[in-house]
Structure 1
């Protein structure tokens, strides 16, 4: 099965309280096959780093399953 890793933005009431308390009006989350994985990030760059890590993990797991 091919896994899909995306970054999505959440705005307004979708932003966790802790980030809203810091003045954040938007946050970014990583989705694996449409389901949120991990925490919300204050910046898109942080979320993209997490996305890259998930993609690397998926490649590693796929490679291991081929051997």
Structure 2
């Protein structure tokens, strides 16, 4: 099975409330097959590191997502 793992930026009201209250106006999230996985990140680099971890996990265990469904 093929997986798409992307990093997406969230701006304004898409930013979680706690981050907005702390003054953060932008955050990054990881999407696996279009669905957000995990938390919002302060930096794109953090999100890219999470993306790499997802890609490694999915390549090592391609049935991992099927079991979660």
TM-score by length of 1: 0.89
Residue 42 of structure 2 corresponds to which residue in structure 1?
Answer: 42
Distance in 2 separating the partners of 1:30 and 1:61: 18
Aligned residues: 62
Report the aligned-residue RMSD.
Answer: 0.6
For residues 43 and 22 of structure 2, the distance between their equivalents in structure 1, rounded to whole angstroms, comes to 13
1:7 CA drift (Å): 0.2
Q: Helix, strand or coil: the match of 1:23?
A: coil
Give the TM-score taking structure 2 as reference length: 0.87
Flag the structure with larger Rg: 1
Unaligned ranges ≥5, structure 1? 63-67
Q: Distance in 1 between matches of 2:29 and 2:43?
A: 9
Match of 2:13 in 1: 13
Deviation at residue 21 of structure 1 after TM alignment: 1.1
Unaligned 5+ segments in structure 2 are 63-69
